[in-house]
Structure 1
């Protein structure tokens, strides 16, 4: 597994834990990293994703909420919610990362960390988001989750 994939997974795990625990507390990042060993470059990438999501969380959550059909944001599984947050952050603020890479990584992580139809669900939401945010020539059709 590559550094960026590990970084995305670590960021999602951190945000997931933060969701379940509520507001952050002093020492929270260090507590997380003491339990989750990672190379310096992986940790740096994960921390950039975490800080980006936290800084822009209101906008990211609002964008995801607009795309949900017959479902409320609060009812999303915590893993799915945070997979969507990290991928949305990358779609919004990381134009150097190709859309198919973002979508594939998010779908694969959702399949690995979540349950049931999470891969398909994440695919559907992110495909809509990618089409609304990025020019068609910058993205290709979303992969089909199996």
Structure 2
């Protein structure tokens, strides 16, 4: 999530951003690999992810989303659709990230958007 946020703010080349990020962040090799895969996938698919987010943000324009909320939603939607992590776990983690890094209201907002996305993924 932090790498996605930094990327959204700076549009740096993902490998360069990862190298800078891991100089100061700690994580086991498997954690780094998983985080890098999620970041790279979400950055690569940002247009499609933003389209999904826009469709599920009722009464809210995508442009008005806080950058941190965008990063959380992009990451969660990408992880839900591309990993073996149970979607409900991804949703709960995203809500906790929103509460910690954004605001209490963002937690409810992220929950609503991701719940709508999850329902649409299970219907198709």
| TM-score normalised per structure 2 | 0.90
Q: Does 2:19 match 1:34?
A: no
Partner Cα distance (1:13, 1:99) in 2:
20
Greater C-alpha Rg: 1
RMSD: 1.7
- Given candidates 117, 121, 131, the residue that maps to 2:105 is 117
More helix by share: 2
Partner Cα distance (1:79, 1:41) in 2:
25
| TM-score normalised per structure 1 | 0.77
- Given candidates 88, 91, 112, the residue that maps to 1:103 is 91
- Given candidates 128, 131, 141, the residue that maps to 2:119 is 131
- Given candidates 6, 24, 32, the residue that maps to 2:12 is 24
Aligned residues: 123
Q: Which stretches of structure 1, 4 residues or longer, exceed 2 Å deviation after superposition? A: 25-28
Please, which moves more after superposition, 109-118 or 45-54? Answer: 109-118
* Alignment gaps of 5+ in structure 1: 1-11, 136-146
* Alignment gaps of 5+ in structure 2: none
The answer to whether the 8 A contact 2:3-2:17 is kept is no
1:125 Cα deviation from its structure 2 partner: 0.2
The aligned counterpart of 1:63 is: 52
1:98 Cα deviation from its structure 2 partner: 1.4
